[in-house]
Amino acid sequence: MSERTVLMTVADIEALFAATFPQTEGQLVIEAVGPMTARCRLPFANEHLRPGGTISGPSMMRLADATIYVAILAQIGPVAMAVTTNFNINFLRRPAPRDVIAECRLLKLGRRLAVGEITLFSDGDPEPVAHATSTFSIPGG
């Protein structure tokens, strides 16, 4: 696979999110973007807990979905209307009540579709707590 150029930096994507999705402020930390990759963090908050003291599935799903979106934006630029068309997640282990880290790798980036996989970890634990795959539709491709 040829090396791709990153079109948007972490700062660029943060600025886009602040302007387009102001309601998400403080709910996602974009740690890194690279060619066909992104790494994001869901900061721990009590609102993400479910009974039993573990991070909820919907919170992890939101993190995974946002992380692939970040990876795609880094590659294609500010296309705010790129949308999820398919999402699948497998919960592997009970996540600890702390930050959750998501690492995304894009498997395919075409003109109309992007496909990626996202692995989620409890901060400080090398064993994954969930694995997701997702497809995004890219408008105007």
Structural domains of the chain, ranges and CATH numbers in brackets: 10-137 (3.10.129.10)
Spatial distance between the Cα atoms of 28 and 56, rounded to a whole number of angstroms: 15
Residue 2 has pLDDT above 70, yes or no: no
Residue 141 has pLDDT above 70, yes or no: no
Contact 27, 96 (CB under 8 A): no
pLDDT tens digits along 31-76: 999 999 999 999 999 899 988 889 999 999 999 999 999 999 999 9
Long-range contacts of 49-54 (CB under 8 A, 24+ apart): 49/97, 53/97, 54/94, 54/95, 54/96, 54/97
pLDDT tens digits along 111-137: 999 999 999 999 999 999 999 999 999
Residue 140 has pLDDT above 90, yes or no: no
